[in-house]
Amino acid sequence: MLKMLDQNAERWALLFFYVLLVLTMAVEVVRREAFAFSSIWGEEVVRYAFIYLAWIGAASAVRERAHIRIDVILHYLGPRAKALIYMLGDLVMFAVAVIALCWSFETVAVSWKFGSVSHGLRVPMVWFLMAVPVGFTLMVVRLIQSFIHDVNALRTGQPVFEGNKLFD
């Protein structure tokens, strides 16, 4: 169960938010064009679904090593040097993610303290502001996993996972 969750958690969350975004947007377009009426809640659902989609997608990109990077030099390096460079990159990204995670909780805490709600849905803003800590938490978990895989690759001399190539 945990292995399946580890492999597919972000995919299912991304699918959910993407379908929610598309369906809500389609309903709002039909309402606006056919009935000359739109709602404020539809815009908010789309906006917040997109925010969750972006942050969970960023964590998924960390897992797949799909972030944009310049890897020309890596083609000339051996497996050990590649592993060390990827480990250095993971450590730097980990430090940034932990700092951002700590700072993101401050915004959530302020919203929780004052009880702010969204304008259209009248739902506590905490649920929407939690997208940032959720995304960075997933990134931290994926970076730890990536670092462990890189250490194992370095120990065994196997090639490090470089991610899927876009045009290969």
Residues 6+ apart with CB under 8 A from 87: 147, 150, 151, 154
User: Tens of pLDDT along 24-73?
Assistant: 999 999 999 999 888 888 889 999 999 999 999 999 999 888 887 777 78
**73: which DSSP letter?**
G
Taking only the tens place, the pLDDT of each residue in 65-84 is 888 777 778 888 888 888 88
Cα separation of 109 and 113, whole Å?
A: 6
pTM of the predicted structure, to 2 decimals = 0.85
